[in-house]
Amino acid sequence: MSINIKRIYEPAAKTDGYRILVDRLWPRGIKKEAIDMWLKDAAPSTPLRKWFNHEPEKWEKFRQKYHAELNASPVLKELKAIIHEHPTITLLFAAVDREYNHALVLQQFINELL
């Protein structure tokens, strides 16, 4: 089982496996053929996303709040099913910031579930 993350604007690769967009908003200029699934409910809520605003000083609090949202979400059941169906998954995100983004938190969250 391998769970990777990648910016949606990077070229697709065979090693990506099953590609899941985990943003609440559709990224500009991306065609639907570029992904296998759009799982927007796995993204942080709009109020949380706007509050965080990719500000590093809010990172730890954001992680805690996002974990709470994920634990309360029915999307967990769907994620578990996807994980069992596909040996390699790539979580796709549009954020420019590669160090402080929700896909990193989601990747770690899923790895802890396994």
For the stretch 67-90, pLDDT in tens is 999 999 999 889 889 989 999 999
Confidence of residue 104 (pLDDT cuts 50, 70, 90): very high
Domain residue limits at 34 = 2-113
- Give the Cα separation of 1 and 87 in Å (integer): 5
- Give the Cα separation of 110 and 72 in Å (integer): 14
Give the DSSP H or E segment for 8: none
Do the beta carbons of residue 48 and residue 67 sit within 8 Å?
A: no
Number of domains in the chain: 1
For the stretch 45-69, pLDDT in tens is 999 999 999 899 999 999 999 999 9
- Give the Cα separation of 18 and 25 in Å (integer): 20
Question: Would you state the pLDDT for residue 80?
Answer: 86
pTM for this entry? 0.93
Sheet with 88-93: strands ordered across? 2-7, 88-93, 18-21, 37-38
Which residue type occupies 16?
D
Q: What tokens does 67 get?
A: 């974990």
Q: How many residues does the chain have?
A: 114
For the stretch 4-34, pLDDT in tens is 999 999 999 999 999 999 999 999 999 999 9
Question: Would you state the pLDDT for residue 113?
Answer: 80
Q: What tokens does 17 get?
A: 């496996």
Q: What tokens does 95 get?
A: 């954020």
